[in-house]
């Protein structure tokens, strides 16, 4: 349902409690979990563990210790285990355990050129900085080139635990075995892709009172949280969205954002934009109302270009106390402070402009950037991109949307997304939840209908996607049949 990820500082605090209690036994538990996963992988690859050639990549910290103990366990089952010391001095007790079990530890220069059935990456864990020094980077590249499957311990080395950022080279794991809780890099690209499949092992760490840094969502979580209309609703309870989007230069943005609002289930949609987009909307969507009137959430900014009355439109909505989604060009017309009930939907370039920073800075640490955007504006911010993140101006967690295929990285997707956000705000969802659910719905629709589909086609698939989610939600709460 919810995927909670914890910062390095928090993980260290939680770990310390258990280390104080059980000492090295904690590392042995972690290693036992890694070894069990490695055995399953070897059985899948070659039918048995006995005789398998396993390479252990070892750094100088506890991550290497986990990997060495796991190697010892595999060696005791008859695997031919060789550990290569990549950084620093290998964990002494872990090294002794491996050697006692019949494994060997060599330096990088002595690594024989041979085919490996499996590699275990214990170079760096939560103590790692992004990137791998040469010649470790060369070894990582060569293993990837040979297609050697890698199981990463805790996280793929070369990836920064708290941000998911990478340096020039990093490990791409088939599977990652992590301990007790997710780390931010498991949810945020490029770390997320480098993680591969994630297996979580219980080693007795108690995160129940720890504060998560990120909260992601899986499909079951999206299905459970989507606001389906109840039996006793009218159009106002489902929410009225008022869109003033598009322009004579970009009329399509008006239609796309309206398609997003209509097909994600708004109770009523008013289109209040300029003439050219209005004619497109009318031709396509007879249910859309053109007269002004009661609105429960506004959508501004998609395809505006220059909009001399932009600042006034935004101010009027603010004065009326109505929440709004502000996208794209609308972000140029914001007042100094907004309430957290407003949802801004920038991509990296737009957020960089808002913060007066370089785009590359936003891309290097999107988690920090989205938090800064919320702090700077007072509004809730949905940062679009490879990983879609939502931050509110308080110090709570950053919310992560369900990941989707890259097909949605195309012109017009953001307009549809703004419309979906409008529907959810109008339905009374808090802005952070509206942003997380809207981005997740669009990603899930794209995942269910893969291929190069224009955003208007994907928007038309939202109703069946929501119906599918409603089915999953009924199964989830036992109301099926
Ligand atoms: N604390 C514990 O008892 C437990 C820790 N666990 C494991 O321990 C890991 C954390 O261990 P550590 O804190 O020792 O940290 P790491 O094992 O991640 O390594 C830190 C060491 O690598 C060096 N280093 C970091 N980035 C580098 C880079 N890019 N290039 C070269 N050197 C670099 C650091 O200076 C430091 O010496 C966890 O990820 C987990 O795998 C588990 O065994 C569970 C129990
Ligand atoms: K690792």
* Co-location of 144 and 246 in the same domain: no
Give per-residue pLDDT as tens, 372-412. 999 999 999 999 999 999 999 987 999 999 998 887 778 89
pLDDT of residue 233: 72
Give residue-wise pLDDT tens across range 210-257.
999 999 999 999 999 999 988 767 777 789 999 999 999 999 999 999
**Is the domain of 134 the same as that of 201?**
yes
**Is there a single domain that holds both residue 201 and residue 247?**
no
Helix (H) or strand (E) holding 458: helix 455-460
Minimum CA distance residue for ligand 1 atom 19: 61
Q: pLDDT per residue over 290-325, tens digit each?
A: 999 999 999 999 999 999 999 999 999 999 999 999
Tell me: the pLDDT tens digits for 429-476? 999 999 999 999 999 999 999 888 999 999 999 999 999 999 999 877
Q: Is the CB of 153 under 6 A from ligand 1?
A: yes
Q: In terms of domains, do 414 and 452 share one? A: yes
Q: Which among 178, 211, 244 is the end of a domain?
A: 211
Q: Could you identify the atom of ligand 1 that is nearest to the CA of residue 131?
A: 29
Strands 2-5 and 214-217, bridge-based pairing? antiparallel
Q: Phi-psi region for residue 136, left (φ > 0), alpha (ψ -120 to 50) or beta?
A: alpha
CB-based contact 173:57 (threshold 8 Å): no
Quick check: 91 pLDDT over 70? yes
pLDDT at 481 (0 to 100)? 42
Same domain, 238 and 186: no
> Rounded to the nearest whole angstrom, what is the distance from the C-alpha of residue 154 to the centroid of ligand 1?
10
> Does the pLDDT at position 259 exceed 70?
yes
Here the CATH number for the domain that contains residue 132 is 3.40.50.10260
CATH number of the structural domain spanning residue 383: 3.40.1190.20
Prediction pTM value: 0.95
Instruction: Please tell me the predicted confidence (pLDDT) of residue 174.
Output: 98
Q: Give the pairing type, strands 240-244 and 268-271.
A: parallel
Tell me if 266 CB under 6 Å of ligand 1: no
Looking at residue 2, what DSSP letter applies?
E
pLDDT of residue 236: 76
Regarding whether 345 and 201 lie in a shared domain, the answer is no
Give the per-residue pLDDT at 479: 59
**Residue 94 CB less than 6 A away from ligand 1:** no
Asked whether residue 334 falls in the same domain as residue 414, the answer is yes
Q: Cα-Cα-Cα-Cα dihedral of 160, 164, 168, 174, to 10°?
A: 100
Query: Is 253 annotated in some ligand binding site?
Result: yes
Q: Considering the chain, what is the average pLDDT of its residues?
A: 95
In this structure, of 338-342, 347-351, 390-394, the range with the lowest mean pLDDT score is 390-394
Order of strands, edge to edge, in the sheet holding 175-179? 104-107, 80-85, 53-58, 118-122, 150-153, 175-179, 197-201
Token couple for 196: 């591969």
Q: Is residue 481 part of a domain?
A: no
Q: Give the pLDDT of residue 338.
A: 98
CA 123 and chain centroid, separation: 24
Q: Is the CB of 154 under 6 A from ligand 1?
A: yes
Q: 128 in ligand 1 pocket by Cβ < 6 Å?
A: yes
Where is the domain boundary, 158, 189, 211? 211
- What percent of the chain is modeled with pLDDT above 90? 91
In this model, does residue 193 exceed pLDDT 90?
yes
Cβ atoms within 10 Å, residue 296: 22
Q: Which ligand is nearest to the CA of 179?
A: 1
Best mutation site among 63, 68, 181 for ligand 1, i.e. most ligand atoms within 8 A of its Cβ? 63
pLDDT greater at residue 264 or residue 477: 264
Which atom from ligand 1 is nearest to the alpha carbon of 24? 3
> Could you tell me which residues come within 8 angstroms of residue 246 by beta carbon, excluding any fewer than 6 positions away?
252, 253, 254, 255, 257, 273, 274, 276, 277, 280, 302, 303, 304
CA–CA separation, 263 and 458 (whole Å)? 10
| The predicted structure's pLDDT at residue 24 | 92
pLDDT of amino acid 405: 85
Domain co-membership, 425 together with 277: yes
Task: Give the separation between CA 172 and CA 3, rounded to whole angstroms.
Answer: 21
- pLDDT (average), residues 347-351: 97
Which ligand is nearest to the Cα of residue 169, counting in written order? 1
ipTM: 0.97
**pLDDT for position 314:** 97
Site to probe by mutation for ligand 1, drawn from 17, 24, 87 as the one with most ligand atoms within 8 Å of Cβ, is 87
Q: Which residues lie below 8 Å from residue 342, measured CB to CB, with a gap of 6+?
A: 318, 323, 324, 325, 326, 379, 380, 431
* Same domain, yes or no: 49 and 136: yes
Tally of CA atoms within 13 A in the half-sphere of 258 that contains its CB: 31
- Atom number of ligand 1 nearest to Cα 167: 29
Residue that finishes a domain, picked among 180, 211, 242: 211
Of 159, 211, 152, 217, the C-alpha closest to 179 is 152
Total domain count, the chain: 2
* 330 within domain boundaries: yes
Q: Residue 237's pLDDT is what?
A: 78
pLDDT at res. 97: 98
| Residue numbers of the domain that contains 27 | 2-211
Q: Is 88 in the pocket of ligand 1 (CB under 6 A)?
A: yes
Domain-embedded: residue 146: yes
The answer to whether residues 167 and 265 belong to one domain is: no
- Residue 275: pLDDT above 80? yes
Give the chain's length.
481
Q: Is the CB of 415 under 6 A from ligand 1?
A: no
The arithmetic mean of pLDDT across residues 475-481, rounded, is 62
Q: Is 157 in the pocket of ligand 1 (CB under 6 A)?
A: no
Same domain, 8 and 152: yes
Residues 26 and 130 in one domain: yes
User: From CA 165, how far away is CA 194, in angstroms rounded?
Assistant: 10
Q: Is 436 contained in some domain? A: yes
33 pLDDT above the threshold of 70: yes
Residue 122: predicted pLDDT: 98
- The answer as to whether 193 is a domain residue is yes
pLDDT of residue 478: 62
Core vs surface per residue 126-142: b (16+ CB within 10 A) or e: bebebbbeeebbebbee
**7 part of a folded domain:** yes
Q: Which one, of 431, 337, 324, lies nearest residue 376 by Cα?
A: 337
């Amino acid at each position: 349902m919810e995927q909670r990820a914890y910062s390095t500082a928090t993980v260290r605090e939680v770990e310390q409690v258990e280390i104080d209690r059980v000492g090295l036994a904690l590392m042995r538990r972690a290693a036992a979990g890694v070894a069990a996963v490695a055995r399953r992988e070897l059985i899948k690859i070659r039918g048995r563990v006995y005789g398998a050639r396993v390479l252990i990549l070892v750094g100088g910290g506890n991550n290497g210790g986990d990997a060495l103990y796991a190697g010892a366990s595999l060696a005791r089952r008859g695997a031919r285990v060789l550990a290569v010391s990549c950084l620093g001095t290998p964990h002494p007790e872990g090294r002794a355990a491996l050697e006692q079990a019949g494994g060997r530890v060599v330096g990088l220069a002595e690594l024989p050129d041979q085919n490996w059935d499996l590699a275990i990456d214990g170079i760096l864990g939560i103590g790692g900085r992004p990137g791998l020094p040469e010649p470790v980077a060369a070894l990582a590249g060569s293993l990837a080139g040979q297609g050697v499957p890698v199981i990463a311990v805790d996280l793929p080395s070369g990836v920064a635990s708290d941000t998911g950022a990478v340096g020039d080279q990093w490990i791409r794991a088939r599977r990652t075995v992590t301990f007790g809780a997710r780390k931010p890099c498991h949810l945020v690209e490029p770390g997320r892709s480098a993680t591969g499949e994630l297996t979580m092992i219980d080693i007795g760490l108690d995160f129940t009172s720890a504060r998560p840094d990120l909260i992601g969502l899986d499909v079951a979580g999206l299905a459970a949280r989507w606001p389906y209309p109840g039996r006793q609703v009218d159009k106002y309870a489902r929410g009225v969205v008022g869109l003033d989007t598009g322009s004579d230069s970009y009329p399509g943005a008006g239609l796309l954002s309206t398609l997003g609002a209509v097909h994600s289930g708004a109770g009523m949609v008013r289109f209040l934009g300029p003439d050219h987009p209005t004619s497109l909307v009318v031709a396509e969507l007879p249910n859309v109302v053109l007269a002004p009137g009661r609105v429960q959430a506004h959508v501004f900014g998609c395809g505006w270009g220059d909009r001399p009355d932009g600042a006034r439109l935004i101010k009027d909505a603010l004065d009326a106390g109505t929440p709004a989604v502000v996208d794209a060009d609308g972000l140029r017309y914001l007042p100094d402070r907004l309430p957290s009930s407003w949802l801004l939907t920038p991509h990296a370039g737009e957020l960089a402009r808002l913060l007066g920073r370089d785009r590359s800075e936003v891309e290097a640490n999107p988690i920090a950037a989205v938090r800064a955007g919320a702090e700077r504006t007072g509004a809730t911010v949905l940062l679009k991109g490879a990983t879609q993140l939502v931050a509110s101006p308080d110090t709570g967690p950053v919310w992560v949307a369900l990941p989707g295929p890259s097909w949605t990285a195309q012109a017009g997707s953001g307009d549809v997304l703004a419309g979906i956000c409008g529907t959810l705000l109008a339905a009374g969802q808090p802005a952070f939840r509206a942003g997380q659910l809207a981005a997740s719905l669009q990603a899930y629709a794209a995942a269910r209908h893969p291929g190069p589909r224009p955003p208007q086609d994907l928007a038309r698939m939202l109703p069946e996607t929501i119906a599918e989610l409603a089915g999953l939600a009924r199964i989830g709460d036992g109301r099926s049949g």
